[in-house]
Each structure stands twice: as structure tokens, then as C-alpha cells.
């Protein structure tokens, strides 16, 4: 057998050859597409009489290239980590400067059922809302106003930075507050074609997590509802023989650990590894809530619905520690003015329950903003016991007990949220208002509440000079954050490209020298585009490895006997020890590590072709390297979820029933 080889080319690393060939044909040397097939390489001059004889120095060159690629990847990764650190610090400072509890206002557009007047009572600026009422005007300043025209996308853009902060390890709480029918559920859940914050956030966190290979993320999800003092688990499995109603009504206890960590005892907490799973659970939770709505009269707008994502972070970037943070997304019950409505009985109790819990929430947030020593998470509880005592003195024990049970239960909302409203956490409250004249009274109540939550900072109105200074600082930090993010993305692109080259070399090395992939080795291809597969990086990596492994033809994968010969210890030392492996361990199908070999023997040609096809197959099956893939939950398509499993709002016919249930208290007068 005669193989002709250019001896000089044998010592050239593959990328040099590629570069030379690429530039000769006007190709981008970085691109793998358009590379000539090995079979197309021109014949060379040197010749060997036996195919099994491959110069040792060529093997060394290949090993060195692999070694260098690994070094390059680890250097890039460490740069990426420090950039991520910079980005996190900048983002955190921005959020702190803007305020750790921010209040936005969204104005609902007019609905076809609304009576529209020529002169609208609400006018908006970027941070101000003006309300006209009987000849007087009242102005409210908030952090951001989302006018009637604001789309779901506009809302999500404002929420995005705080989500990033959740992945960075902070406890986060996003709350939708407002009068019944002003669009809280629309903002949080959305509609099929206009997804709300929760489904977008689920998509965004998995997408962002899949891009960060320096941290390993784990996610789990829970959903519950607070209705008239009972906590209802919305993801509990339905036990056979019991209606969901009975199963879900189990009253759960809240536990506060010494370190301040709050846990709802017995609450279903399910691991989720990708967006599809999470959205499936979210749909289940929403339906559970819907079911109870149809069965329990008036429960629709009389409850708070809470979705929690627990985020676990571990890995090199956080020095081997495991950190857990929480993201709460809350659709609060509708606030009502009880005196105006003149409601009685159950409706009055529900209204009181919601208003009390909302007022307790306002107290807690206001206290936190004032950075008071005592935060009244349980203030309502103390009050309730005093009330109960007084009443018992007056021998109205029964009445007092009923009231105290209700009040205790209502404070549960603030108890559950206490570790996401305290130090180091960040909260965003989206207050919703109606554009209608007849709702102006309730609109003012809502905006007063919003002002109260924001009161302390706005009372300390900064001077113009200080305001400018603050804005300058924020934009400077924002630039730093964006620069770090851009650099990080570039690094990511470089890592992906180097990983592809490394992977090719490793494959070439294994196929040539019959060594097998080291399971602990960096043998990943490019990271998958999160728009196609949204999962945790670890999962994506595993899938990629499997894919790579399966892409080898059978004769190139290890047999039981060869695995036995090649102990794991041998495999682990590919870069250092493999170069000393004897040539006689190679099979007759092996060829030199350098792809500059030309050949004339037909069998050899077949092997080379199949090897080349493998590499091309791998390229086609790995998603393209995107320099800056956009995660933004704005892409509302959910490609991989079957139609019947997609996140959808409540069924229209059910919605019809619900809207009848949604008795507006103002209509009861
Ligand atoms: N920004 C918006 N754009 C279009 N439609 C909206 C918007 N906001 C609310 N709506 C519509 O207004 C109606 C009431 O909204 P929604 O049910 O979200 O109110 P809510 O505040 O959640 O009420 P409740 O307190 O009873 O739960 C729905 O039909 C919804 O589609």
C-alpha cells in the first residue's frame, strides 16, 4: 500500500491548513462550512510504504493542538466569569440606585364595554399620572407609567432586568395590584397571542440560564392561591376519589427559618428543567385556579395567585457553593372600596380580606423602604389578638374568633413574601388603573396606595442637581453593564468556535489512534440556540455529548474489548500520556492525525470519506453559532410545545362564566 504524504504538511495544525485552503478559495477561515472534503485535498509528494506507519511527531502536534485549545477555552471562560461579575455588579448598583422596590403603573385601554367620554379623566407622562375628578386635578409620581398603548412586550422590557437579577442570586417579587377588571391577569398571564409576564419570564430565565456555562442552574416551581385565609396548593396531584376542590383546599403552614428563609410547609415544589415543562405546570396551576373559580362562587377576583420559581445556582463561578434564590410572580386580588359598594355577607368579608392583606402588604413595603427596625409582617396578627381579647371581654367571642381567623389568614400574603421583600431582595409592583370616568374614585385609591408604597423615597425628593447626578451614574453603570454583556457574548462566540475545533480534533485523534472520548473532557460542540431548545446548560451539554457520540459510525466507537484494554485512567490522560502510546495499538483503518494526507488506496479513501461525512453531519446537526442570540421573552412563539400543551389563557367559554362571576362591587350599590 502506498500513501503519499507531504512531510511538511504533516506537522501543520489543521487550522493552518484550513486557513490556507479557505483564503485560497476566498472562504472565511473561521467558518467550517465550505471546507473541502478530505478526499478533495490535493495529492502530496512524500510517501510511506505502510499506512500503519504514522510519524510520532504528527501525533504530538495533534495532541499539542488539543492541549492548546483546552487552555484557550479555559482562559476564555475565566475572562467570561470576570465579565459576568462586572455585569452583575453594575446591574445590582443600577437597581439599588433606582430603588429596590419600584412601582410602575399600567393604564388599561378602553374596552368595548366601557363608556367612553370625550374628555378622558386620566393623562399620563413617562413618570406621572394626572387624574381629573369633579374639577380638581391630582398628580401622582411613580417610577414608570405604561400608557394605554403599551404592549405586553413594552411591559416585559421593563421587567427583564429584575429577572436577570433573580438569576444572579437575588430574591425577586413581581406583583400586579389594582381594582378588579383593570388588567392584572392580562399583565401577568396574558392571552394566547399576547403572552404576559409569567410565561415570558419562564422562557427568559431558561434561555438565559442555558447561555451561562459557568453556572449550573436548577429550577423548581410551585403555585398557590390565597383565598379568604387559606393557602391552596395549585400544583398538588389530584388524589383519586377526591375532587380537586377537596385536595387543593388543604391549608398550608408558613415556616420562617432562623436565617429568614420562608417556606410554605407541604407546598408542592416540582423540578423543572426546561421551558416546556414549566409552561405545562403553569397551565395546570392556572386551570386548577380556574376550576375553583367555577366551583367556588365569587372566588375569581377574590384571591391572590402566586407563582414561585426556586433558582439553585452552583458551579465554578460561585466557588463551588450552592445558592438558592426565589422569584415570586403574584396576581393580587382586586382592591375595592367597601363603603362605596355597600357589599354585605360573604362579598363584604372577601373584600375586607383582600383589602386587609393589601393594606398589610403596603405597610410592610413602606416599612422596608423606611428601613425601619421593625417590619410589621405580623402586625395584623398582633392586632387580631388584641381584638380577640377585647371581644372576649365583651362576650362576643364567637364573632371575634371568626374575625381573627380571617385576619390571621390575610397576613399570610406578607408572611409568604417576607423574604422576597426584605434586605437584598428586589420588588416590582405594577399597579393597574382603569381609564374610565366611573372608576376614578377607585383609581385614586389605587394610586394613593402606589404612592404610599413609594412614599418614603418620593418624600425625600432629591434636588435637581442630585437627580441629574443620579441619572448620570445610572447611565454610566448601564453602559458598563452593556459593554460587559457584549464582551461576554463575544467570548461565548469564541468559546463555541474553539469548542467546535477542539471537538473535531478530539474526534480525529480518537478515530486515528483508537482512543475514546474522555467523559470528563470538554467535548461539547456549540451551545444550542435557546430559541430552539431551552433547557439547563447541563442538559444541553449531555444531549450534545450523546449526539456527538452517536454521530460516530459503529466501527469507530469503542468495543467492550477495547474499552477493557483502555482503562478510564488511560483515557483521562490523553494530552499527556497518549503521545507515548505505541503505534501498534492502531487498527489497520487508522490514518495520520494530520488531514493533509493524500491517498491512492481505495479502502483508505472510503475511511477518509466516512470520517469526513461524520464531521459534516455533526456540523449540520449542531445549531449555528450565534454571536448574540436574543433570549428576550418577546418571541411569543413556543415552537416545541404541542398545541394542546401550550400556555393559554382560560378557556373562552369558562372565561364567559367567570366574567359573570366577576361581580364588580361598584355594581352592587
Ligand atoms: N392592556 C390591555 N389590553 C387589552 N385588553 C386588556 C388589557 N388589560 C386588560 N384587558 C382586558 O380587560 C379585561 C379584564 O382584565 P383582567 O381580567 O386581566 O383584570 P383583573 O384586574 O385581573 O381582574 P380581577 O381582579 O377580577 O382578576 C379582560 O378582558 C382583559 O382582556
DSSP assignment string, 372-397 = -S---TTHHHHHHHHHHHHHHHTT-H
pLDDT at 640 over 70: no
Report angle CA 15, 20, 22 to the nearest 5 degrees: 90
Q: How confident is the model at residue 189 (pLDDT cuts 50, 70, 90)?
A: very high
Give the pLDDT mean for 537-558: 39
Residue 496 pairs in a beta bridge with none
CA dist., res. 72 & res. 93, Å (int): 32
Pick from 109-123, 174-188, 527-541, 569-583: least confident? 569-583
Spatial contact of 62 and 593, defined as CB atoms under 8 Å apart: yes
Spatial contact of 131 and 447, defined as CB atoms under 8 Å apart: yes
CA dist., res. 96 & res. 423, Å (int): 11
Candidates 186, 304, 329: which one to mutate for ligand 1, based on the most atoms within 8 Å of Cβ? 186
Ligand 1 site, residue 109, Cβ cutoff 6 A: yes
Candidates 110, 147, 181, 666: which one to mutate for ligand 1, based on the most atoms within 8 Å of Cβ? 181
Spatial contact of 625 and 500, defined as CB atoms under 8 Å apart: yes
Name every residue whose Cβ is closer than 8 Å to that of residue 306 and which is 6 or more positions away in sequence.
223, 224, 225, 226, 328, 329, 330, 331, 416
Length of the chain, please?
A: 669
Give the pLDDT mean for 442-448: 90
pLDDT at 651 over 60: no
CATH 3.40.850.10-classified regions of the chain? 99-460+639-668
CA dist., res. 470 & res. 464, Å (int): 10
CA dist., res. 177 & res. 661, Å (int): 20
Ligand 1 site, residue 656, Cβ cutoff 6 A: no
User: 38-47, 309-318, 358-367, 650-659 — which one is most confidently predicted on average?
Assistant: 309-318
CA dist., res. 545 & res. 539, Å (int): 10
Q: How confident is the model at residue 467 (pLDDT cuts 50, 70, 90)?
A: confident
Strands 322-331 and 172-178: what pairing? parallel
Ligand 1 site, residue 599, Cβ cutoff 6 A: no
Ligand 1 atom 14, closest CA: 181
Name every residue whose Cβ is closer than 8 Å to that of residue 35 and which is 6 or more positions away in sequence.
18, 21, 22, 27
CA dist., res. 272 & res. 201, Å (int): 14
- Residue 148: predicted pLDDT: 93
- Other C-beta atoms closer than 10 Å to the C-beta of 434 total 24
Give the pLDDT mean for 427-454: 89
How far away, in angstroms, is 181 Cα from ligand 1 center?
A: 5
CA dist., res. 74 & res. 71, Å (int): 5
Give the pLDDT mean for 425-453: 89
- Residue 121: predicted pLDDT: 86
CA dist., res. 656 & res. 293, Å (int): 12
CA dist., res. 638 & res. 214, Å (int): 27
Burial of 114 (0-12, 13-18, 19+ CB in 10 A): middle
Residue 262 pairs in a beta bridge with 256
- Residue 383: predicted pLDDT: 52
CA dist., res. 624 & res. 628, Å (int): 11
User: What separation, in Å, do the N-terminal and C-terminal C-alpha atoms of the chain show?
Assistant: 100
589 versus 353: the higher-pLDDT residue is 353
pLDDT at 449 over 90: no
Give the architecture (CATH level 2) of 99-460+639-668: 3-Layer(aba) Sandwich (3.40)
H-run or E-run covering 175: strand 172-178
CA dist., res. 420 & res. 270, Å (int): 20
pLDDT at 111 over 80: yes
Name every residue whose Cβ is closer than 8 Å to that of residue 74 and which is 6 or more positions away in sequence.
none
Ligand 1 atom 31, closest CA: 186
pLDDT at 182 over 70: yes
Ligand 1 site, residue 181, Cβ cutoff 6 A: yes
How far away, in angstroms, is 645 Cα from ligand 1 center?
A: 23
Quote the strand ranges of 199-348, DSSP E.
216-227, 230-233, 254-256, 262-264, 270-272, 303-314, 322-331
Give the pLDDT mean for 24-52: 40
Residue 270 pairs in a beta bridge with 221
CA-wise closest residue to 402 among 415, 391, 414: 391
Q: How confident is the model at residue 96 (pLDDT cuts 50, 70, 90)?
A: confident
239 versus 108: the higher-pLDDT residue is 108
- Residue 431: predicted pLDDT: 95
Ligand 1 atom 27, closest CA: 301
Ligand 1 site, residue 425, Cβ cutoff 6 A: no
- Residue 333: predicted pLDDT: 83
How far away, in angstroms, is 182 Cα from ligand 1 center?
A: 5
How far away, in angstroms, is 147 Cα from ligand 1 center?
A: 15
- Per DSSP, helices labelled H in 136-195 are 152-167, 184-188
Ligand 1 atom 16, closest CA: 183
- Residue 387: predicted pLDDT: 53
**How confident is the model over 130-143, as pLDDT tens digits?**
998 877 889 998 98
Spatial contact of 333 and 349, defined as CB atoms under 8 Å apart: no
- Residue 425: predicted pLDDT: 80
Give the pLDDT mean for 645-650: 35
Binding-site residue ranges for ATP: 178-185
Pick from 34-43, 110-119, 307-316: least confident? 34-43
CA dist., res. 25 & res. 649, Å (int): 54
Nine cell digits for residue 634 = 418577546
Q: How confident is the model at residue 250 (pLDDT cuts 50, 70, 90)?
A: low
Pick from 124-133, 213-222, 518-527, 659-668: least confident? 659-668
For the CA atoms of the chain, what is the radius of gyration? 31
**How confident is the model over 301-328, as pLDDT tens digits?**
568 899 999 999 887 666 667 888 999 9
| 333 CA closest ligand 1 atom index | 25
Ligand 1 atom 1, closest CA: 108
Quote the strand ranges of 391-469, DSSP E.
426-433
- Its pTM stands at 0.60
DSSP 480-516: HHHHHHHHHHHHHHHHHHHHHHHHHHHHHHHHHHT--
Amino acid at each position: 500500500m502506498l500513501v503519499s504524504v507531504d512531510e511538511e504538511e504533516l506537522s501543520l495544525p489543521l487550522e493552518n491548513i484550513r486557513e490556507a485552503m479557505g483564503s485560497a478559495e476566498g472562504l472565511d477561515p473561521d467558518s467550517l462550512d465550505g471546507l473541502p472534503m478530505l478526499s478533495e485535498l490535493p495529492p502530496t509528494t512524500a510517501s510511506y510504504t505502510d499506512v500503519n506507519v504514522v510519524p510520532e511527531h504528527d501525533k504530538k502536534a495533534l495532541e499539542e493542538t488539543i492541549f492548546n485549545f483546552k487552555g484557550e477555552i479555559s482562559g476564555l471562560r475565566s475572562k467570561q466569569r470576570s465579565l459576568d461579575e462586572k455585569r452583575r455588579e453594575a446591574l445590582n448598583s443600577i437597581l439599588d440606585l433606582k430603588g429596590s422596590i419600584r412601582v410602575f403603573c399600567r393604564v388599561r385601554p378602553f374596552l368595548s364595554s366601557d363608556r367612553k367620554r370625550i374628555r378622558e379623566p386620566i393623562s399620563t407622562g413617562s413618570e406621572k399620572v394626572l387624574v381629573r375628578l369633579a374639577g380638581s386635578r391630582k398628580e401622582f409620581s411613580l417610577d414608570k407609567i405604561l400608557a394605554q398603548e403599551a404592549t405586553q412586550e413594552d411591559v416585559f422590557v421593563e421587567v427583564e432586568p429584575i429577572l436577570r437579577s433573580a438569576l444572579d442570586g437575588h430574591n425577586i417579587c413581581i406583583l400586579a395590584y389594582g381594582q378588579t377588571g383593570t388588567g392584572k391577569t392580562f399583565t401577568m398571564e396574558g392571552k394566547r397571542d399576547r403572552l404576559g409576564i409569567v410565561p415570558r419570564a419562564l422562557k427568559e430565565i431558561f434561555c438565559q440560564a442555558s447561555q451561562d456555562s459557568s453556572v449550573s442552574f436548577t429550577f423548581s416551581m410551585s403555585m398557590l392561591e390565597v383565598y379568604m385565609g387559606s393557602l391552596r396548593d395549585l400544583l398538588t396531584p389530584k388524589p383519586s376519589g377526591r375532587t380537586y376542590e377537596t385536595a387543593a383546599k388543604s391549608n398550608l403552614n408558613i415556616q420562617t427559618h432562623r436565617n429568614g428563609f420562608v417556606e410554605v410547609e407541604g407546598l408542592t415544589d416540582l423540578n423543572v428543567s426546561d421551558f416546556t415543562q414549566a409552561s405545562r405546570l403553569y397551565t395546570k396551576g392556572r386551570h386548577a385556579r380556574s376550576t375553583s373559580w367555577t366551583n367556588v362562587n365569587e372566588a375569581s377576583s377574590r384571591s391572590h395567585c402566586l407563582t414561585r420559581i426556586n433558582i439553585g445556582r452552583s458551579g465554578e463561578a460561585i466557588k463551588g457553593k450552592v445558592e438558592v434564590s426565589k422569584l415570586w410572580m403574584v396576581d393580587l386580588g382586586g382592591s375595592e372600596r367597601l363603603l362605596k359598594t355597600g357589599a354585605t355577607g360573604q362579598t363584604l368579608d372577601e373584600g375586607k380580606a383582600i383589602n386587609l392583606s393589601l393594606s398589610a402588604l403596603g405597610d410592610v413595603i413602606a416599612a422596608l423602604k423606611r428601613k425601619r427596625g421593625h417590619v410589621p409582617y405580623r402586625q395584623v396578627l398582633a392586632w387580631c389578638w388584641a381584638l380577640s381579647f377585647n371581644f372576649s371581654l365583651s362576650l362576643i367571642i364567637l364573632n371575634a374568633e371568626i374575625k381573627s381567623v380571617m385576619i390571621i389568614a390575610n397576613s399570610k400574603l406578607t408572611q409568604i413574601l417576607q423574604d422576597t421583600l426584605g434586605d437584598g431582595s428586589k420588588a416590582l409592583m405594577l399597579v393597574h388603573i382603569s381609564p374610565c370616568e366611573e372608576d376614578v374614585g377607585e383609581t385614586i385609591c389605587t394610586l394613593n396606595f402606589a404612592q404610599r408604597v413609594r412614599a418614603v423615597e418620593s418624600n425625600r425628593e432629591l434636588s435637581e442637581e442630585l437627580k441629574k447626578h443620579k441619572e448620570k451614574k445610572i447611565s454610566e453603570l448601564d453602559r458598563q453593564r452593556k459593554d460587559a454583556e457584549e464582551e461576554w457574548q463575544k467570548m461565548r462566540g469564541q468559546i463555541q468556535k474553539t469548542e467546535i475545533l477542539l471537538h473535531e480534533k478530539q474526534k480525529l485523534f480518537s478515530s486515528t489512534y483508537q482512543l475514546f472520548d474522555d467523559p470528563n473532557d470538554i467535548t461539547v460542540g456549540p451551545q444550542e440556540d435557546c430559541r430552539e431548545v431551552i433547557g439547563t446548560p447541563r442538559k444541553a451539554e449531555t444531549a450534545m455529548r450523546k449526539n456527538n457520540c452517536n454521530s460516530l459510525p459503529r466501527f469507530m466507537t469503542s468495543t467492550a474489548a477495547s474499552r477493557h484494554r483502555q482503562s478510564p485512567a488511560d483515557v483521562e490522560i490523553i494530552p499527556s500520556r497518549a503521545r507515548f502510546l505505541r503505534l501498534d495499538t492502531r487498527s489497520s483503518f487508522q490514518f495520520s492525525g494530520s488531514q493533509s494526507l493524500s491517498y491512492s488506496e481505495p479502502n483508505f479513501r472510503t475511511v477518509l470519506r466516512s470520517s469526513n461525512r461524520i464531521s459534516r453531519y455533526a456540523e449540520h446537526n449542531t445549531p449555528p453559532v450565534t454571536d448574540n442570540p436574543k433570549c428576550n421573552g418577546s418571541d411569543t412563539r413556543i415552537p416545541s410545545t404541542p398545541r394542546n400543551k401550550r400556555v393559554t389563557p382560560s378557556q373562552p367559554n369558562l372565561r364567559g362564566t367567570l366574567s359573570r362571576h366577576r361581580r364588580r362591587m361598584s355594581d352592587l350599590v
